[in-house]
Structure 1
């Protein structure tokens, strides 16, 4: 799916955190050092051939970059199992050294700050094949019903250097976009990000399909999709909508993708204009479930509603829509447009995107259905590990970044307790940080400023600790005592309850407080549990 201060990791030895050991390979992939920060990628121009039978890639990536600090060495990345054929600068082969998946490239003359440079990185090999994409990174080589090759790739978290040479860190996107030119056997098509700019019969049994991205793009979003596709074109106002699906599925797709227009209208009303209009919007049928590849969203939900025909919320609301269309498109705003600097902060992608599902439900089916939906999602959080991961070692946090992240945002909505203000904050958040690379501190500072509240302890409790806030209550005659139990000190958060079915609001802190209530029994007091993701313990 994009950066701030990242903790430096020493390159010697190993790094240990949270009872887990990290290797030099981890720090080389996840850390920032001078060889990475001394240059800024301007564009990638990828030109490759894919042999489906041999599961083999060959070609090159032209990498244009601006020198940020005087240097004679930079780091690029390519998985060890992929061969470096040569690296060429100004017509001459240059020297390099491999260290795990890192490639340290040396230049004959020092590169001067402010200058733009370019190199061509030739490579080849059999890329890693995913065992269970998209949950593990790699290529997927399958066949369609007619026996023709059907190929896709998903590498989020694993690293885009799995299949092409790149500066494999979310802090640096190619500012001036990219071209992706992919040659595949005649009779097949490749669909990549951005706009189709032409094809060429190479007269060797292969046709090259050329695509261009105008916007900055995450490394892991750059993709290839190879199949015997048919193309469906539509428009939403001035936005081009293009769908590439297997030939036998054209009619299914035309019906299923009717969900796209109301979804985009909803998201644009809540999050701002579609961020990548210059590159268009695409859904591309893939041999795996899905992925948020910018302007070429991977779709593999088999034309069902829910998540592969299943409602993960257990509420029935999840069967009202196609989960993959909605969730992966939400990433165009959260993850592709707004990107985290380090994957330890991936909740910035997944929490907001999972929340976008609830936003969609509210747009189409109303507030009550939306609260029912997100209330069902809450049950899927495990609360075993913090949401935020370890910085500098390419380590994501807990899978709770999805449901717990969304539930935290829904909780914040009801803490703010002013829907007009809340939707203005969410809209302006998307617009303020559009096509930006940020971190958790940036998010928290934004919400603090826009709400005029100190929400830092709330963010910290949900993101940096495994436990959710616990509201302890006691009823003594007609006196209700209440307090928060949290890992964070000086925690304060209002919370909604009902007393005999009548809504009330407690301004709870870590200190015991008392209010008079008309309740004969403690069981007459209930939490507004779909609105607030907290525990309540009756004592």
Structure 2
């Protein structure tokens, strides 16, 4: 399933912010996120007692104008324990007329949620029996607006899950059932409709009769499914039947495009790549094991639902264009991920939805190209870094997500990100072979992340234990940066030692055994790429390069989605370069020849200040930095621009920590630069700050006149002095050196908001006061150099050095 929003936008927005801010995506999930506890395993317990074998349902839509249904549900089941005397069934707010077993009327209790029927006689292990429930009423929709039963014009249909429902399974709104993730059964469904309407359901048509005043059509699904994948749809429907001939099995599978007659032409045009999607998924995941492929159009504009063999699909997405074909691919792929193999609990919804979202990229790769695949992977990854923790309310592991975000960004979008990374860890052959064997061995079963991990370990040459521990069972992302390198000539070759630092975003867990690529480039743009493994916070690796390398970079092919978004460019003119993925702008003013430019945007904290003076004078970003590198032609010159986004109340901003500092003012922003990790940060001179709104709303950009190779990040001047230098001339301390009491003289008056702080030479806070004082007792300090700081209204305005004897 995928939730989407179709809407038109009218807006006026600074084009620069549009380039570097949140990217509009009208097909993103938009979910209600109320707080619930994670559910699933408790709801599954009934399936240890009873195994439902088949639901045989007749639904009468004679009162469709009153939004009512009348049903007869014949439930066949097997006892898994001895002395089973009751049968519990979920049914939501419908009226029960009677319950029978073998023609005998049963007593029961019903509280509008759960039926407990007293069986005619106790059952023992292996006994097979059935009950029949007669019922009617108005089936419910989910309070969120997503899921349940809908009556819209001539359409009546269900969506099998409810975003706010607990549990999310929503078969219970239209038939009595075991409404959980693990109970699977076959379905036989007969739909009685007014003569102008036709009913569609799971599986294949087994009979249809025109009774004149009403129409009867029966369907049968031979594959077992959980209740949330069962469906009915009634409308002024017809269907276009196509056939898919599998190159793998040579089987012919009917494909139904179900719509009102006026919509079939656009439907077919939007689905011209349906056969290509089938072919791509069979090639990568294994044979299609269902009776038919089916999509039925519904007037629902907020998403689609992967009911087995009859997917509920929004009419607005089948308008004749191909703009929504990844939605088609997503829903189809559920017939491997989410229908064939299903998650055991809602906490592992990434197995269903993450792989369906990743299948959109597999579809683009198969039908178009690997470049299209990678473009979609990168767009999704940037959105995850920018928005997943915001929309879902925090950084989460994709396995074990809370119930409130079952259908959130972590399950869908980060799940797709992690699937891309698993492909890189394993390599294409082991990855796709592993997926095929997993799907084959667990077909029509429920699974969890541990089943997935253990299967891949047992059935592939790659040990994925560390991968699952790092990427599946832990939150956040790692970011890897080359701190330094050592180059030694070795004959015609060069031995290079690389020192890599792993930094973290949204986690304190360092990732182990991460397969990494490093690319070396010569002055003549010759390049070579090596694979190695990053393990823990610091990694050292050795390489022998057949030329003199003048630059190196990691993950140049974007084979890993991590906390770095980088772009390579060849520049041979003076056009403005807006790098949306790297979130950086530069404008060449002189480009006499082609230059190779690489910009890396790190979504992690930069190294801090090494010298106390700068630490006392500036705050440094805790959230991101850039690295600029390349092979530039002689005379290449460019100006640069970076955008500061820390607007209060806007959750997707990238710089909220700096913007939240007491007394923040954009006029005090600085752009900090250092040549490499062994250099010191210092403010870039000749910058221009352009506010975008007020001077305190956290929206601005900084332009600078010379782009240099090295690292850049934002800083904020703690002192209001425009030069950025500490006003030591206004403070005096004595005696200096001092043994016991240090006296302080200041030229300016003080208020109740003024206090003192003493730091040692390593920047560690040693003493502090909550008030202004003319003296401070330093007798307990060890001998050495210290810094006294004056803090006024939360801002560090002055600093001076003293020596403790």
Q: Please give the range of the TM-score, normalised by the shorter of the 2 chains.
A: 0.7 to 0.9
C-alpha offsets along residues 200-247 of structure 1, whole Å, 9 cap, x if unaligned?
A: 3456x4322211111112211111111111221121221112221111
Residue 120 of structure 1 aligns with which residue? 132
Distance in 2 (alpha carbons) for counterparts of 1:87 and 1:254: 44
Residue 286 of structure 1 aligns with which residue? 298
TM-score (norm 1): 0.83
C-alpha offsets along residues 342-378 of structure 1, whole Å, 9 cap, x if unaligned?
A: 2221111111111211111111222222112211111
Residue 198 of structure 1 aligns with which residue? 207
C-alpha offsets along residues 58-95 of structure 1, whole Å, 9 cap, x if unaligned?
A: 1121000011101112321011x222222211222222
Residue 88 of structure 2 aligns with which residue? 75
Residue 218 of structure 2 aligns with which residue? 210
Report how far residue 515 of structure 1 moved.
3.0
Residue 530 of structure 1 aligns with which residue? 558
Query: Which aligned pairs between 1:126-145 and structure 2 lie closer than 5 A?
Result: 126-129=138-141, 136-143=146-153
Any stretches of 5+ residues in structure 2 without a counterpart?
A: 2-33, 162-167, 246-251, 488-496, 522-526, 565-601, 608-805
Report how far residue 335 of structure 1 moved.
0.8
Residue 375 of structure 2 aligns with which residue? 372
Query: Which aligned pairs between 1:217-228 and structure 2 lie closer than 5 A?
Result: 217-228=225-236
| Aligned partners of 1:30 and 1:169 also within 8 Å | no
| Aligned partners of 2:35 and 2:404 also within 8 Å | no
| Aligned partners of 2:330 and 2:356 also within 8 Å | yes
Query: Which aligned pairs between 1:176-325 and structure 2 lie closer than 5 A?
Result: 177-201=186-210, 205-237=213-245, 238-276=252-290, 279-288=291-300, 289-300=303-314, 302-303=316-317, 322-325=325-328
SS of the counterpart of 2:192? strand
- How many aligned positions are there? 490
Distance 1:107 1:413, change over 3 A: same
Aligned alpha-carbon RMSD (Å): 2.8
Q: 1:480 aligns with which of 484, 490, 498?
A: 498
Distance in 2 (alpha carbons) for counterparts of 1:212 and 1:428: 28
Quick check: 1:357 aligned with 2:366?
no
C-alpha offsets along residues 267-301 of structure 1, whole Å, 9 cap, x if unaligned?
A: 1122111111xx22212112223211111122225
Distance in 1 (alpha carbons) for counterparts of 2:36 and 2:337: 30
| Aligned partners of 1:338 and 1:434 also within 8 Å | yes
Distance 1:111 1:489, change over 3 A: farther
Residue 316 of structure 1 aligns with which residue? none
Q: 1:435 aligns with which of 444, 449, 454?
A: 444
Any stretches of 5+ residues in structure 1 without a counterpart?
A: 2-18, 144-148, 310-318
Distance 1:185 1:210, change over 3 A: same
Report how far residue 421 of structure 1 moved.
3.0
Quick check: 1:410 aligned with 2:420?
yes
Higher relative contact order (CA 8 A, sep 6+): 1
Distance in 1 (alpha carbons) for counterparts of 2:532 and 2:318: 42
Distance 1:430 1:443, change over 3 A: same
TM-score (norm 2): 0.57
Distance in 2 (alpha carbons) for counterparts of 1:359 and 1:395: 25
Distance 1:336 1:54, change over 3 A: same
Residue 11 of structure 1 aligns with which residue? none
C-alpha offsets along residues 34-73 of structure 1, whole Å, 9 cap, x if unaligned?
A: x442110110001111232111111121000011101112
Distance in 2 (alpha carbons) for counterparts of 1:343 and 1:440: 12
Residue 50 of structure 2 aligns with which residue? 39
Distance 1:286 1:21, change over 3 A: closer
| Aligned partners of 2:483 and 2:501 also within 8 Å | no
Report how far residue 155 of structure 1 moved.
2.5
By percentage of residues, which structure has more strand? Answer: 2
Distance 1:352 1:194, change over 3 A: same
Distance in 2 (alpha carbons) for counterparts of 1:528 and 1:443: 29
Distance in 2 (alpha carbons) for counterparts of 1:505 and 1:57: 62
Distance 1:525 1:22, change over 3 A: closer
Residue 333 of structure 1 aligns with which residue? 336
| Aligned partners of 1:140 and 1:287 also within 8 Å | no
Q: 1:425 aligns with which of 434, 437, 445?
A: 434
Residue 457 of structure 2 aligns with which residue? 448
Distance in 2 (alpha carbons) for counterparts of 1:303 and 1:49: 30
Distance in 2 (alpha carbons) for counterparts of 1:269 and 1:36: 34
Distance in 1 (alpha carbons) for counterparts of 2:422 and 2:193: 49
C-alpha offsets along residues 312-347 of structure 1, whole Å, 9 cap, x if unaligned?
A: xxxxxxx66612221110111111111112222111
Distance in 2 (alpha carbons) for counterparts of 1:330 and 1:364: 14
SS of the counterpart of 1:253? helix
Quick check: 1:506 aligned with 2:511?
no
